[in-house]
């Protein structure tokens, strides 16, 4: 982009009448994977990172995320009970419904007040005792999918507000996408709920039914937690990527925002549980409804954490775009998935504005002067110009070309050459500064990658030693508990290998720490100068 501005000035200085190719009218669709943007948040400079932090706090308040979380809580409650009905009915088919209910209610009793257990026990036990478990399962599944799709749709609308885009997908395209996302999220959420519920007496009863011993149950109680974490991370990543009406960069199974959301949710849930258990007076204030109030507040906190993580991702994308020189000060430069509905809404709004104008004129006021505080978009006779065409690089470059050519006509040859030299020196200094910043960023990534690889290799060695020691112990003593320790060792090996692989990839991508992007930019500058 800098070379285009420089060439525009050079052409205006030397020729004065040459039309810039980049100044033609038209709107360029931004590329979500623009190579100019930093590859990861670690490549952001310190000023960019501080700007992102301040912007996250401001936008979280400006987007009214507390109200959005309340709306999401409403939709979550609507989808919760059909999902609970489906899960209890599914376990009722296998004869484990009552034990599962007792286990879940015991978990609720441990986290919150006893009134929550008293509130939920009656309706849930009626579901377990219902004779038609198969029909109840079907009804529960259909109701859960349809109700949860309302939550996913509301989450998508909240994401659209954060990414500063209107919903443009028609209902025949939007609804199937939301249903698919809902089914995937429900399957994972149900799996997480079942893994949390199948513990203690429930797990032992299922193990006795299918012939599993104590060692297998011990392995299950250890191995289910990493699977739960993976499923929760995937649910958040899918919600962040698939619901908004923007074409986001490539899908990441975990983003910075998703990690922030999960950590925030865990910390907030623990603090809220401590507050409810030790300092609150919900039982005295609300009586039998205390459990319901506590549960609704916890759902609200959960949705707040999800929205905060989404805001972090959106503002990190803004920081990447600003550091790449893209015009993202007012709006993110991400292309929408579809604009059919938003275009139709804009046409209808313009039609109603024209009707309102005609109504005003019928009462004798023919003054069409735009009053203060109203933009030109209220005048349908003036064609609407997309934001990207008035604020984007093409419009700015066209104006710059015109101003340069007008000023060039009034300057002498010596002044023109002097201006060209100043522009050349400015361009060279800017390219050198970008090259130094890129080298610094790659050096940081190299150090982090090597650190992660070192930690991963250490865990890998420890896990391998544990696995070998357990194998020797198993052969020597032949005790059932050896399988559990072996599973721990293998899990450590897998985690260590994964960390080592990730660190090695990051280190490989950063070596050698040469300014490749700056070099490509300089090559494009030289090629463009030769063609002029």
Q: What does the pLDDT average to over 105-127?
A: 57
Q: What does the pLDDT average to over 127-150?
A: 69
Residues 303, 449, single domain; the answer is no
Residue 222 within a domain:
yes
C-alpha 455/C-alpha 459 separation (Å) is 6
pLDDT at 450 over 60: yes
What pLDDT shows up at residue 195? Answer: 81
Residues 319, 447, single domain; the answer is no
**Cβ-based burial of 18 (10 A; exposed 0-12, middle 13-18, buried ≥19):** middle
Q: Which residues contact 413 (CB under 8 A, 6 or more apart)?
A: none
What are the distances in angstroms from CA 510 to CA 48, 131, 164, 446, 458?
Answer: 21, 63, 33, 5, 22
Q: What does the pLDDT average to over 55-83?
A: 89
User: pLDDT per residue over 321-336, tens digit each?
Assistant: 888 888 888 888 888 8
Residue 147 within a domain:
yes
Q: What does the pLDDT average to over 358-385?
A: 59
C-alpha 122/C-alpha 38 separation (Å) is 55
What pLDDT shows up at residue 68? Answer: 94
pLDDT at 59 over 90: yes
* Band of pLDDT at residue 514, cut at 50, 70 and 90: low
Angle at 321 between CA 318 and CA 322, to 5 degrees: 85
Residues 158, 289, single domain; the answer is yes
C-alpha 266/C-alpha 262 separation (Å) is 6
pLDDT at 163 over 50: yes
C-alpha 399/C-alpha 3 separation (Å) is 16
Element (H, E) at 6: helix 2-14
Q: Which residues contact 192 (CB under 8 A, 6 or more apart)?
A: 228, 231, 232
Pick from 149-158, 191-200, 303-312: least confident:
191-200
- Answer yes or no: are the C-beta atoms of 393 and 4 closer than 8 Å: yes
Residue 466 within a domain:
yes
Residue 342 within a domain:
no
**Which of 181-185, 309-313, 420-424 has the highest mean predicted lDDT (pLDDT)?**
309-313
Residues 166, 293, single domain; the answer is yes
Residue 370 within a domain:
no
Q: Which of 306, 323, 340 is the last residue of a domain?
A: 323
Residue 246 within a domain:
yes
C-alpha 74/C-alpha 296 separation (Å) is 9
* Band of pLDDT at residue 114, cut at 50, 70 and 90: low
DSSP state of 386: -
What pLDDT shows up at residue 423? Answer: 75
Please give the residue range of the domain that contains residue 162.
Answer: 63-323
Residues 104, 239, single domain; the answer is yes
Closest CA to 185 of 126, 108, 239, 252: 239
What pLDDT shows up at residue 303? Answer: 94
pLDDT at 373 over 80: no
User: Between 301 and 384, where is the model more confident?
Assistant: 301
What pLDDT shows up at residue 249? Answer: 79
SS (H, E, C) 278-341: HCCCHHHHHHHHHHHHHHHHHHHHHHHHHHHHHHHHHHHHHHHHHHCCCCCCCCCCCCCCCCHH
Could you give the percent of the chain with pLDDT greater than 70?
60
Q: Which of 323, 352, 384 is the last residue of a domain?
A: 323
Residue 394 within a domain:
no
Mean pLDDT, the chain, rounded, equals: 73
Contacts 24+ apart (CB under 8 A), 377-386: 378/353, 379/353, 380/350, 380/351, 380/353, 380/354, 384/346, 384/350, 386/27
Q: Which of 275, 303, 323 is the last residue of a domain?
A: 323
* Token output for 343: 């275009």
**Domain total in the chain:** 2
Q: Which residues contact 263 (CB under 8 A, 6 or more apart)?
A: none
Closest CA to 304 of 135, 511, 63, 125: 63
User: Between 14 and 445, where is the model more confident?
Assistant: 445
User: pLDDT per residue over 273-294, tens digit each?
Assistant: 888 877 767 667 776 677 788 8
pLDDT at 446 over 90: no
What pLDDT shows up at residue 402? Answer: 41
Residue 363 within a domain:
no
pLDDT at 27 over 60: no
């Amino acid at each position: 982009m800098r070379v285009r501005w420089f060439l525009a000035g050079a052409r205006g200085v030397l020729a004065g009448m040459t039309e810039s190719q980049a100044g033609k009218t038209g709107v360029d669709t931004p590329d979500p994977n623009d190579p100019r943007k930093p590859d990861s948040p670690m490549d952001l400079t310190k000023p960019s990172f501080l700007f992102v932090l301040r912007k996250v706090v401001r936008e979280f308040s400006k987007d009214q995320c507390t109200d959005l979380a309340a709306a999401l809580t409403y939709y979550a409650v609507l989808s919760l009970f059909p999902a609970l009905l489906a899960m209890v009915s599914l376990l009722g088919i296998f004869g484990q419904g009552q034990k599962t209910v007792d286990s879940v209610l015991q978990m609720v009793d441990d986290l919150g007040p006893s009134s929550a257990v008293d509130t939920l026990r009656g309706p849930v036990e009626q579901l377990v005792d219902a004779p038609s478990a198969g029909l109840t399962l079907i009804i529960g599944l259909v109701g859960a999918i349809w109700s949860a799709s309302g939550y996913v749709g509301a989450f998508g609308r909240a994401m659209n507000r954060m990414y500063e885009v209107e919903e443009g997908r028609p209902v025949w395209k939007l609804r199937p996408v939301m249903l698919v996302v809902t089914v995937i999220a429900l399957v994972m959420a149900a799996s997480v709920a079942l893994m949390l519920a199948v513990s203690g007496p429930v797990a032992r009863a299922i193990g006795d039914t299918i012939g599993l011993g104590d060692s297998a149950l011990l392995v299950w109680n250890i191995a289910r937690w990493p699977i739960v974490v993976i499923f929760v991370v995937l649910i958040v990543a899918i919600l962040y990527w698939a619901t908004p009406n923007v074409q986001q960069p490539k899908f990441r199974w975990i983003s910075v925002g998703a990690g922030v959301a999960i950590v925030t949710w865990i910390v907030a849930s623990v603090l809220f549980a401590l507050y409810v258990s030790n300092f609150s007076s919900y039982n005295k204030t609300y009586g039998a409804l205390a459990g319901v109030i506590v549960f609704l507040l916890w759902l609200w906190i959960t949705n707040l954490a999800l929205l905060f993580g989404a805001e972090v991702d959106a503002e990190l994308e803004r920081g990447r775009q600003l550091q790449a020189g893209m015009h993202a000060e007012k709006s993110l430069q991400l292309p929408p998935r579809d604009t059919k509905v938003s275009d139709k809404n804009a046409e209808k709004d313009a039609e109603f504005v024209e009707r309102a104008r005609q109504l005003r004129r019928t009462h004798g006021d023919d003054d069409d002067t735009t009053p203060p505080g109203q933009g030109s978009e209220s005048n349908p006779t003036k064609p609407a110009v997309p934001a990207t065409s008035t604020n984007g690089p093409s419009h700015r470059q066209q104006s710059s070309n015109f101003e340069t050519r007008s000023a060039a006509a009034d300057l002498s040859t010596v002044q023109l050459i002097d201006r060209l030299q100043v522009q050349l020196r400015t361009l060279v200094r800017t390219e050198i500064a970008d090259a130094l910043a890129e080298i610094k960023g790659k050096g940081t990534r190299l150090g982090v990658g090597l650190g992660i690889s070192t930690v991963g290799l250490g865990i890998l060695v420890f896990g391998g030693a544990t696995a070998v020691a357990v194998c020797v112990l198993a052969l020597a003593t032949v005790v059932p508990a050896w399988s559990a320790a072996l599973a721990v060792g293998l899990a450590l090996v897998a985690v260590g290998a994964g960390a080592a692989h990730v660190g090695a990839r990051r280190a490989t991508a950063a070596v050698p720490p040469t300014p490749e992007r700056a070099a490509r930019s300089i090559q494009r500058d030289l090629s463009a100068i030769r063609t002029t």
